Amino acid sequence: MGSFIIQGSKGLEGIVDIGGSKNAALPIIASTVICPREYILENIPDIEDVKDMFDILHTMGCKIQYEDGVALIDTRDLNTFKVPEKLVRKIRSSIILMGAVLQRTGNVEIAYPGGCEIGLRPIDLHLKGLRKLGVEIVEKNGLLIGTVKEPEGIEISLDYPSVGATENIMLYAVGVPGKTTIYNPAREPEIVDLQNFLNICGYEISGAGTGVITIEGKNIKSTETVEYKIISDRIEAGTYLSAAASMKSKIYIRNIEKSHFKSITSIYEDAGCEIRETKGTIVIKNSGRLNAIEKVTTQPYPGFPTDMQAQFMASMATANGITIIEETVFDSRFKHVPELQKMGANITTIGRVAVVEGVERLTGAEVESKDLRGGAALVIAALGAEGTTKINNIYHINRGYEKFVTKLQNLGVIITEV
């Protein structure tokens, strides 16, 4: 599964270029199956999850070429409504194919999805939404079998602003006759990107990023090639920001949309970092030990993202004072805590609350990455630790970070992948 070996250092310096957003690219790639045509997608990150999504589409008959961040996808020869089970179980976004394949073929056969093990992660809201839109769904031998029966636009109110459920409903509803309205949808920038992409394809969606999304069902006949550029990854940007903030550093983070991660930058400013923005670039400077933040609670967008909780915790592990971190989005997202403790962090958890008492410095140790962001948190902890850290099981990290080793090396980090 591979390991990173990281030498603790005194600080980061240099420039890092942020790649395309994992959580925007995956549903957009999935949505190319809805309409049989060719697509040219730019800024697709070179990460394991994207490779798995390509494998799924390829297995279903689509043609894919990928080079230098550009994917050419041809979905005209999709030849099945059965989504390959093994691959579906590897990644989270595979479930979005449920809505997309149903819209294309009227049927779907799909397993429960994989992704980070950070809690229960049910898909009841996805299924409830699709059923309301006229899809019959039964479960057989662990597979979900969906058939379009009476498609009709309707009002759907989500009990929770689930990212995946919002996307799945959008992908199916684009071609459902009539008007579908989603109340309390997820408002993440990745949902706005999905709306923008679908509208360029010719569909009619409005309201993404607000509390109501409206979809006018349309039957697209166009075969014209669609070109689209994916937004940059706010969580990747936030991860480099956390890394720089954890030590005496000055780095330039390029290719970002600052408005997408205000909740992250404002917390690091409160902790004592200097953050400036010029067009598309952030300069972050930290000249001393961070100040602890009294309390941070993860929330759906525009709140502080759960996907930054672990990295933030790693920063606060050496801050001056006590930080309380509450995880409200997922029920089991503290698997990095015992690993940080092995490095000398003083963290206590009570249910979904972690109390982090900053220590002067962490020490290198052999630790294990249990999930994507927890793994990134261990890298951040290792950067400022005394001595060498070995992080095992880095598969999880490579699922979501493009050229992680090279980008860190460019910032002066001594890191090798073995």
Ligand X SMILES: C=C(OP(=O)(O)O)C(=O)O
What is the contact surface with ligand UD1 in residues (CB under 6 A)?
A: 23, 26, 92-93, 119-126, 160, 162-165, 186, 306-307, 329-330
Count of other CB atoms within 10 angstroms of residue 112: 16
Query: For the chain, what percentages of helix, strand and coil (3-state, to nearest 5) are there?
Result: 35, 30, 40
Question: Which among ligand X, ligand UD1, none contacts residue 400 (Cβ within 5 to 8 A by kind)?
Answer: ligand X
Return the residue of 25, 116, 264, 394 that touches ligand X, per CB under 6 A: 116
- Rounded to the nearest whole angstrom, what is the least distance from the CB of residue 93 to ligand UD1 in the complex? 4
Span 1-30, contacts to ligand X by CB under 6 A: 22-23
Span 386-405, contacts to ligand X by CB under 6 A: 400
Toward ligand UD1, which CB reaches closer, 125 or 215?
Answer: 125
Return the residue of 352, 373, 396, 407 that touches ligand X, per CB under 6 A: 373
* Dihedral angle, C-alpha 249, 189, 278, 309, nearest 10 °: -20
Does 255 belong to an annotated binding site?
Answer: no
- Rounded to the nearest whole angstrom, what is the least distance from the CB of residue 345 to ligand UD1 in the complex? 22
Question: Which among ligand UD1, ligand X, none contacts residue 258 (Cβ within 5 to 8 A by kind)?
Answer: none
Question: Which among ligand UD1, ligand X, none contacts residue 163 (Cβ within 5 to 8 A by kind)?
Answer: ligand UD1
Cα 325 from Cα 322, distance rounded (Å): 10
Residue 115 touching ligand X (CB under 6 A): yes
Residue 307 touching ligand X (CB under 6 A): yes
Toward ligand UD1, which CB reaches closer, 26 or 156?
Answer: 26
- Rounded to the nearest whole angstrom, what is the least distance from the CB of residue 416 to ligand UD1 in the complex? 28
Of 2, 98, 5, residue with least CA distance to 378: 5
CB 195 within 8 A of CB 205: yes
Rg (CA), the chain: 21
CB 106 within 8 A of CB 132: no
Q: Give the residue nearest to ligand UD1 (CB).
A: 164
Q: Which of the residues 35, 62, 116, 273 is marked catalytic? A: 116
| Residues contacting residue 195 through CB under 8 Å, at least 6 positions apart | 170, 205, 206, 207, 208, 209, 213
Strands, sheet with 3-7, edge to edge from the N-terminal-most edge strand: 366-368, 388-392, 3-7, 414-417
- Three-class DSSP category at 82: strand
Stretch (H or E) spanning 31: helix 22-31
Does 124 belong to an annotated binding site?
Answer: yes
Cα 251 from Cα 242, distance rounded (Å): 11
Question: Which among ligand UD1, ligand X, none contacts residue 165 (Cβ within 5 to 8 A by kind)?
Answer: ligand UD1
116 is catalytic: yes
Toward ligand X, which CB reaches closer, 122 or 177?
Answer: 122
Count of other CB atoms within 10 angstroms of residue 22: 26
Annotated binding site: 22-23, 92, 121-125, 307, 329
Q: Give catalytic residues, as residue numbers.
A: 116
- Which residues are at the interface with ligand X (CB under 6 A)? 22-23, 92, 115-116, 118, 307, 372-373, 400
Binding-site residues for UDP-N-acetyl-alpha-D-glucosamine, in ranges, read: 92, 121-125, 307, 329
